[in-house]
Amino acid sequence: MDNCRFCEVWCCDTFYRPDPLTPQKRPVRYLLIVMKLPLSIVLAFWCGLAASQIPQAPEIAARSYLLVDVTANQVLAAKDVDTPMEPASLTKLMSAYLVFDALRVKKIDLKQTFPVSEHAWKMPGSRMFIDPKMQVPVEDLIKGMIVQSGNDATMALAEGVGGTAAHFVQMMNDQAKVLGMKSTAYKNPEGLTEPGHITTARDLSILAMRLMTDFPEYVGFYAIKKYRYPGTPAANDTNRNLLLQRDPTVDGLKTGYTDAAGYCMVATAKRDYANLGPVGTPQSGRRLLSIVMGTSSENARANESQKLLNWGFVAFEPVKLFDSDQSLLNQKVWKGSSGTIKVGRPHAIVVAVAQGSAGKLTTEIVRREPLLAPVAKGQQVALLRVKSAGVQVVEVPLLALEEVSQAGIFGRAWDAIRLWIR
């Protein structure tokens, strides 16, 4: 008989967690019927349940904004995150991504010098103030692009890495597709207004998180408060990100401005939480990412970003549910060289919940049956659903912590018979 078109059958394991710091597991196995209802009905039902569970975000004076708990991989607040907008100099996040990638694969190196073309020299807007008589090291061009938001530095890097600005822009668009930035189109490397040069707050969050994840050795450039290249104006040495001067926990990322885009900022901050790990260690850090687009002034974008970050750190608390590489269950594998496989995450599983509600958490592991070999290490094989007072907070993909190859022909045949009987 065909499956009912309104439901699917999943196998679930539920673990009740009255105390998230010293969890007591009571596993229960049962069949879960997942209803395929219209999205509007599901959303209306969920929103009604969740309204009292989710802290209300403060008023943010921006056309679009987004706050993400990077550590928990959760959205905490959002407004018009899929509305296309001009990114202005936030474009340089993608330019930096490609430059960092070229450094990683050793296509270029930090000490290598790039020439300054007439095109780069004549770039309007924010500048590093380099000229065609100079051969500038890549490291200085990166600082000029990030700290001074130099359009001239960005163009010199684009021409140096891409050969031509046009080819570099094609590389930017190709990379956006790879990262899953579905609503982004680049027309230039620096972010000056040009028809069709657009992005969204959601896409910027994807880019910013991948930038920090993929290039931890280079994101320190974004925390530099002051920089200028020798021989250039001393007054042009201060990072446009005012939060670097105001909040010691802020360590990036980028600002942007054009008349059409307004004042924009992607900001990130990391603060210690004792329940995540020993204070002062990387494990104890909780990172938030805020994005504001279309604010009215340089001060406004800093103030609204700070408001979002502070609210996120205070209104939500992080709860560490499982350690990195901790096996949450041994899942049955059919037709494999091994009969079971360990399932978990390579990194600790942390969730962000409303302040004071950690004791209401329950977790549920949902896995589709049967799981057939071969299974690759890192392959998604299950989901962890985290709920607070019965309302789903987040869904975390669970991965195979090891690989299982196929069994021999007789092993596969025997399991095929068992599955048929089952």
- Residues 206-260: tens digit of each pLDDT: 999 999 999 999 999 999 999 999 989 988 999 999 999 999 999 999 999 999 9
Helices (H), 92-200: 92-104, 118-121, 138-146, 151-162, 165-179
pLDDT value of position 2: 37
Residue position matching structure tokens 């900022």:
265
Where a domain ends, among 262, 291, 320? 320
> In this structure, is residue 129 part of a structural domain?
yes
Q: Per-residue pLDDT for 53 more than 70?
A: no
pLDDT over 90 at 273, yes or no: no
- Whether pTM > 0.95 for this model: the answer is no
Q: Are 244 and 250 in contact (CB under 8 A)?
A: yes
**64, 89, 95, 305: which is the annotated catalytic residue?**
89
Between residues 306 and 24, the one the model is more confident about:
306
Residue of 32 and 209 predicted with greater confidence: 209
- Tell me the C-alpha to C-alpha distance, in Å, between residue 246 and each of 52, 143, 356, 404: 33, 20, 28, 51
Mean pLDDT of 137-160: 98
* 236 is a domain residue: yes
Residue 58 lies in a domain: no
Element (H, E) at 41: helix 39-50
Do 270 and 157 lie in one domain? The reply is yes
In a domain, 366, yes or no: yes
Do 246 and 357 lie in one domain? The reply is: no
* Percent of the chain whose pLDDT exceeds 70: 87
Catalytic-residue membership of 64: no
Q: Does residue 277 sit in the same domain as residue 391?
A: no
Query: In which domain, by residue range, is 204 found?
Result: 64-72+77-320
Q: Does position 31 have pLDDT exceeding 50, yes or no?
A: no
Residue 145 near residue 123, CB atoms below 8 Å: no
Would residue 205 count as lying in a domain?
yes
Q: Are residues 247 and 395 in the same domain?
A: no
CA distance 279 to 270: 12
**121-143: average pLDDT:** 96
Residue 8: predicted pLDDT:
35
Report the SS3 class of residue 39. helix
Same domain, residue pair 237 and 373: no
Query: Which residues, in sequence order, are CB contacts of 225 under 8 Å at separation 6+?
Result: 147, 238, 239, 244, 245
Judge whether 341 and 400 are in contact, CB under 8 Å.
yes
Indicate if 338 belongs to the active site: no
Domain match, 272 and 354 both: no
47 in a structural domain: no
Q: How confident is the model at residue 406 (pLDDT cuts 50, 70, 90)?
A: confident
* Strand runs labelled E in 195-328: 250-258, 262-272, 285-295, 316-322
- In the predicted structure, residue 26 carries a pLDDT above the cut 50: no
Together in a domain, 185 and 297: yes
pLDDT in tens, 3-25: 333 333 344 544 433 333 333 43
What single letter denotes the amino acid at residue 134?
Answer: M
Is residue 42 in some structural domain?
no
The last residue of one of the domains, among 265, 293, 320, is 320
Catalytic residue among 64, 92, 342, 387: 92
Helix/strand/coil for 408: coil
Give the separation between CA 186 and CA 95, rounded to whole angstroms: 10
Burial environment of residue 126 by CB neighbours within 10 A (0 to 12, 13 to 18, 19 or more) = buried
Judgement on whether residues 145 and 263 belong to the same structural domain of the protein: yes
316 and 335 both lie in a single domain: no
Query: Is 92 among the residues known to form the active site?
Result: yes
Q: Could you tell me if 143 and 119 are in contact, meaning their C-beta atoms sit under 8 angstroms apart?
A: no
153/295 same-domain check: yes
Q: Which of 290-299, 318-327, 333-342, 386-395 has the highest mean pLDDT?
A: 290-299
What is the domain-level CATH number for residue 342? 2.60.410.10
419 pLDDT tier (thresholds 50, 70, 90): confident
pLDDT band at 1 (very low <50, low <70, confident <90, very high): very low
State whether the Cα torsion 8-12-17-23 is positive or negative.
Answer: negative
b vs e for 30-65, b when ≥16 Cβ sit within 10 Å of the residue's Cβ? eeeeeeeeeeeeeeeeeeeeeeebbbebeebebbbb
Whether residue 301 is found in the same domain as residue 338: no
Q: State the chain's mean pLDDT as an integer.
A: 87
Distances (CA, A) of 298 to 124, 292, 305: 19, 12, 11
Three-state DSSP class for 42?
Answer: helix
pLDDT, average across residues 81-106? 98
**Could you write out the three-class secondary structure of 10-37?**
EEEEEEECCCCCCCCCCCEEEEEEEECC
From 149, 290, 305, 388, active-site residue: 149
User: What is the pLDDT averaged over residues 70-79?
Assistant: 95
Total domains in the chain come to 2
Pair (68, 194) in one structural domain: yes
| Domain end position, chosen among 279, 294, 320 | 320
User: How far apart (Å, rounded) are the C-alpha atoms in residues 382 and 397?
Assistant: 6
Residue 89's pLDDT band (boundaries 50, 70, 90)?
A: very high
In a domain, 226, yes or no: yes
Q: Give the integer Cα–Cα distance in Å for 306 and 262.
A: 18
Average pLDDT over residues 84-111: 97
Angle formed by the axes of helices 151-162 and 165-179, nearest 10° = 90
- pLDDT value, residue 5: 32
Q: How far apart are CA 169 and CA 179, in angstroms?
A: 15
Question: For the ranges 137-151, 300-314, 337-351, which has the lowest average pLDDT?
Answer: 337-351
Q: Is the model's pLDDT at 36 over the cut of 70?
A: no
